[in-house]
A and B are shown apart, each in its own frame.
Chain A
Amino acid sequence: MVELRLYMAQRATAAIMAPLVLLHLGVMIYAIQGGLSADEILERTRGSLFWGGTYGLFVIAVSVHATIGLRNILREWFRLRGPVLAVLCWLCGAGLLIAGLRAVVAVVGAP
């Protein structure tokens, strides 16, 4: 039942990402109407639990979602199976998570 669990995890993370993408785009378009600079945006996001939580959740969802998709490609196109496939997928997931969380820290953390 590994495939079913992964299928469900990928759909669940897609359901999380979709509204967050809309929120991100909507706020971005709204915020720049008055000509906000990057520094001014960062002033508003730093220390914000809401934006930290929003982007943190998004990064976690992306890491899971993208890794499952990559796993399918590695299985089907490169015929990888077993430990090699598992190690590559965990590395990819961890890499996405670390890179993404670093970006979140840069947006909400202290300068």
Chain B
Amino acid sequence: MVDSATDSITVSVWRGVAGSGDFQDYQVPQQPSQTILDVITWIQRHLDASLSYRFACRVGMCGSCAMMVNGIPRWTCRTHVNKVMQERHLTVEPLRNLPVIKDLACDMSEFFEKWRQAEGHFQGRRSRDETVAAISPKSSQRQAANAAIECINCAICYASCDVVAWNRDYLGPAALNRAWSLQNDQRDRAQDERLKVVAGDAGCHQCHSQQGCSTYCPNELNPTASIAGLKRMSAHWFMNKKYRQRHG
């Protein structure tokens, strides 16, 4: 602990398990270039070893350490204290819209399950015996796929989305962003099946384009634009003659 009040930060950390818990205040010494993850780690190592939280790479690659910081979802390993601290105070909570396991660790199962539901895995057209598909990096489809591809599965977009909060079935921005990337991958063969899922009742048409996902994505992706793309794609599909014939 640090004696001088000017050198310490008051950190209110949410402690508890699913359904019950409260904020607990800790005094943490401020350091140069200190991140929120550094602060949480310091609390666990020096003040309370029972504090639970999740992290892995510490360099913004793995997407494990996202938490609510002063009410905003952030990747804590790349968020500097001096950029988000308000009057020497920080509030750290588990991610919104996901069930809490304990303290700052939430259960990501539904988030990943929705990736699966949205057919978020690549299904190649060609076997290993065939030649590699030639895809022009300049093609508009490849550029659309590239724009959506750097997701690290941190669930910050999922936590920022009001539609997820209102409708628990909604697939969410990350799964739909992934689906958009694959819908533009010319090597993928599951685009018809995927489009049926993402145009379904829990899919892209639930989005109100509030853009919380795009505002807070730490990798500066634009899931709102991806979802808008899926809306356009499914609208074309809806008006397609084959669809009308099949569904009357």
Closest chain B residue to A11, Cβ basis: B235
Question: Which one, A2-10, A21-29, A35-43, A98-106, is touching chain B?
Answer: A2-10
Q: Is B231 an interface residue (CB 8 A)?
A: yes
Question: Which one, B25-33, B74-82, B134-142, B195-203, is touching chain A?
Answer: B195-203
Complex Cα spacing A26 to B239, Å: 32
Contacts of A76 in B (CB 8 A): 163, 166-167
A11 to chain B, nearest CB (A): 7
Q: Is A50 an interface residue (CB 8 A)?
A: no
- Residue pair B167, A7 in contact (C-beta under 8 Å): no
Q: Is B238 an interface residue (CB 8 A)?
A: yes
B227 to chain A, nearest CB (A): 12
Complex Cα spacing A5 to B234, Å: 11
- Residue pair B235, A1 in contact (C-beta under 8 Å): no
B122 to chain A, nearest CB (A): 25
- Residue pair B167, A3 in contact (C-beta under 8 Å): no
Query: Pick the contact of B234 from A2, A4, A75, A77 — CB < 8 Å?
Result: A4
Closest chain B residue to A8, Cβ basis: B238
Chain B interfacial residues counted at CB < 8 A: 16
Over the window 45-83 of chain A, the binary record of Cβ atoms lying under 8 Å from chain B Cβ atoms (1 yes, 0 no) is 000000000000000000000000000100111000000
- Residue pair B235, A2 in contact (C-beta under 8 Å): no
Q: Is B206 an interface residue (CB 8 A)?
A: yes
Q: Is B247 an interface residue (CB 8 A)?
A: yes
Chain A, interface size category, equals: 10 to 19
Query: Pick the contact of B205 from A4, A75, A77 — CB < 8 Å?
Result: A4
- Residue pair A1, B163 in contact (C-beta under 8 Å): no
Complex Cα spacing A7 to B201, Å: 10
Over the window 132-169 of chain B, the binary record of Cβ atoms lying under 8 Å from chain A Cβ atoms (1 yes, 0 no) is 00000000000000000000000000000001001100
Complex Cα spacing A76 to B238, Å: 25
Query: Pick the contact of B200 from A1, A6, A8, A75 — CB < 8 Å?
Result: A1
Closest chain A residue to B166, Cβ basis: A76
B125 to chain A, nearest CB (A): 26
Complex Cα spacing A110 to B170, Å: 51
Given the known interface contacts A75-B167, A76-B166, A77-B166, the answer about A7 and B231 at a Cβ–Cβ threshold of 8 Å is yes
Complex Cα spacing A7 to B235, Å: 9
Contacts of A7 in B (CB 8 A): 205, 231, 235
- Residue pair A3, B205 in contact (C-beta under 8 Å): yes
A54 to chain B, nearest CB (A): 26
Contacts of A75 in B (CB 8 A): 166-167
19 more contacts with CB within 8 A, not counting A7-B231, A8-B238, are A1-B200, A1-B201, A1-B247, A2-B201, A3-B201, A3-B205, A4-B200, A4-B205, A4-B238, A6-B205, A7-B205, A8-B235, A8-B239, A11-B235, A72-B208, A75-B166, A76-B163, A76-B166, A76-B167
Residue ranges of A at the interface with B (Cβ–Cβ < 8 Å): 1-8, 11, 72, 75-77
